[in-house]
Amino acid sequence: MSGPLLPTDPASIGGHRLLARLGAGGMGVVYLGRTEAGALAAVKVIQAEYADEPDFRARFRREVEAARRVTSPWAVPVTGADPDAAAPWLATAFVPGPSLQEAVARHGPLPARSVRVLGRMLAAALREVHAAGLVHRDVKPANVLLAVDGPRLIDFGIARAADETAITSTDLVIGTPGFLSPEQAEARGAPVGPPSDIFSLGCLLAYAATGRPPFGSGTADALLYRTVHDEPDLEGIEAVDLLTLLRLCLAKDPADRPTDERLGAELLVEDAIPEGGQLDWLPEDVVRAIADRSAEMLALPDIEPTAAGTPPEAPGRRRLLVLASGAAVLMAGGGVAAWAALRGEDDPGTAVATTRHWALGLQADLSGAQKTAGQAQERGARLAIEQYNSRKNKPFELTLKTVDDGGSAGRAPAAAKKLIQDADVLAVLGPTNDETANAVLATYDEALLPLMCVSAGGLLLSQQQYRSFVHCRPSDSLLAIPVAIYLMKQGVTQRAGLLQDRTGRTYAQETASITTLMLRRLGRPPYPRVIPADTGDIEPVIADMLRAGIGSFVYAGYAPGAARVARELVTAGFDGPRLASQAVIDPAFLAQAGDAAEGWVMTASFIDPSAVPEAAAFTAAFRKRYGAAPGYYAAEAYDTVNLFLQELVKGTKSGRPPGRKELAGLLRKSTYKGITKQFSFRATDGQFTGWGISLHRVEGGRFRFVGEAPSKV
């Protein structure tokens, strides 16, 4: 989906009149452009800060050269490029359809026939790639655009010659974890050949058929480990021929995988592409989405010509419109504050009205299924800001501006837009859950508005490198690390039983994978079992684990499944240590497990401030302000806002706060000792680098905070 150009965007690039933004990321922006002949193009422009890096520019030049060597109807052709320009750019033919990733996310998995046709045409594209002596090395759903007449393979940014050793460091992995091959994942420095692309194609087709990556999602390390050692998750694929094809493509040994030639000639013989005809290969809802996108592009208005050599100081037409709008506001009585709001926030010459109220934004679930956590965060944040405003030496007062997204990924972008468009908002706390966070991360990043998450913890949050994201808690996968350490400290000599509940999807998979990895490193490999999502009777599985002589039990999944397992363990007479992670700290576990919940131990990214001496003053202030004890995440939100305030005051000059971009950098480089944990971050991507994991135990029918989880045996 396209978006409007920003006032700071150029009017043209390389002879292309720019019409809209197609997307933006940490490295650059992709525009929709139109040539003088009227042809539409996708114009990828690299940001100046990366263009100044010789290695990055060389990589971009290699991308241009690689893309030009591939001629296939199923690969997007290059129509122009200038890798040596001040702002390097690459133009390709514009495909109005969504990416495969977007289509599956919006409309669900594709039918088996669509997957077969998709595989046949992408195999043909890869055949041309390999015939050109290249290996694509990044075949993934985001790099396949869908059109009515077939898919288009894009992005040759890391393509290399098939006989070239692309990795000089044995620890450097090139590609997208979850869609790369085992030989890429192991990063041993050996050349990666065409079979690697076939493996990635298998991952892509599995995603298209099931709606999920075959090796789950999560941290890069977890994905790489599963790619090398685990079997792919192909559950739900009923077509035997497709299942067979995917298993061949996903063979661990490159020699066991079919060639792209064999894929097209022998294994995908159905649904041949008609000569000169149009292939009816996509579901109606996807075709409708492509048609709507095409209509949107055709409806874009022409832009009046602007001289290509316009001096930098001369404002473009869009900038003049913005300034004209500002003048109209002034004449209508808007005054100095209105004029200041129209000028660049990072401009040191901006006039600021003394009555301007700077703000911290809060995007949260205040009315949906997770409103308890969202409301706790709002209360903790509001208390921190009220205490700040009561200081005598503050540079200015702050307000808290809240938006309620109801915990819905569909509502989240509109909520984020409200805060982004409010020029007074310096940073945002939230959102509450993984779905809403994933829905808005790129939006906040494009606006360079710092986003501080205290409860969302899914590993998808760490898969892309954002510029303004600050993760203020350990991720869900890291919560599994203390499980193995805790068991070792308990002195249990028998193997640990590890049960992965498939109803827990990615969360369960991550917990099981990290627990397995840690126990193996500690010399205590677990006894693992998996419960398929549709399993009715789990007694045989539990009985098998007990017959294996397990001395402790680890559950990977959500609260309802844990309750079922807890009851079965009690029935079987098992009384050894029983552990799970944060998702099980849920009233549903206590209600459904009853007495069987007693003694279970859980790891979590939050504390109970009522049980922490260092949080006594916060707890007392919270009770006085709200008449109740603070809930989970209230103290974490309080700490995060105080971290934000620390950096805000530090960066304030002459009564003016730092701009959004500067503030994001300050937050990522900051350290802060809070009442919940020690905060520190990786400056490159804002990921949390502290510990911040606690233990909770069920005692007397409630969750009791035990203390910090062990980090060493």
Question: Known catalytic residues?
Answer: 138
Tell me how far apart the alpha carbons of residues 381 and 377 are, in angstroms, rounded to a whole number: 6
Place of tokens 């599995």: 206
Of the chain, the end-to-end C-alpha distance in Å amounts to: 50
Tell me how far apart the alpha carbons of residues 421 and 418 are, in angstroms, rounded to a whole number: 5
- Number of residues that this document lists for the chain: 713
Q: How many CA atoms lie within 13 A of 100 on its CB side?
A: 30
Phi, psi torsion values for 2, nearest 5 degrees: -85, 160
Q: Which amino acid is at 215?
A: F
Q: Which amino acid is at 375?
A: Q
Tell me how far apart the alpha carbons of residues 418 and 403 are, in angstroms, rounded to a whole number: 8
Closest CA to 637 of 431, 486, 482, 496: 431
Tell me how far apart the alpha carbons of residues 596 and 80 are, in angstroms, rounded to a whole number: 67
Tell me how far apart the alpha carbons of residues 428 and 416 are, in angstroms, rounded to a whole number: 9
With b meaning 16 or more CB within 10 Å and e meaning fewer, what string describes 324-356?
Answer: eebeeeeeeebeeebbbbbbebeeeeeebeeee
Query: How open is the CA angle 672-673-676, to the nearest 5 degrees?
Result: 115
Q: Which two tokens stand for residue 48?
A: 């100046």
By CB neighbour count within 10 A (0-12 exposed, 13-18 middle, 19+ buried), where does 307 fall? exposed
Tell me how far apart the alpha carbons of residues 693 and 605 are, in angstroms, rounded to a whole number: 5
Q: Which amino acid is at 611?
A: A
Tell me how far apart the alpha carbons of residues 451 and 467 are, in angstroms, rounded to a whole number: 10
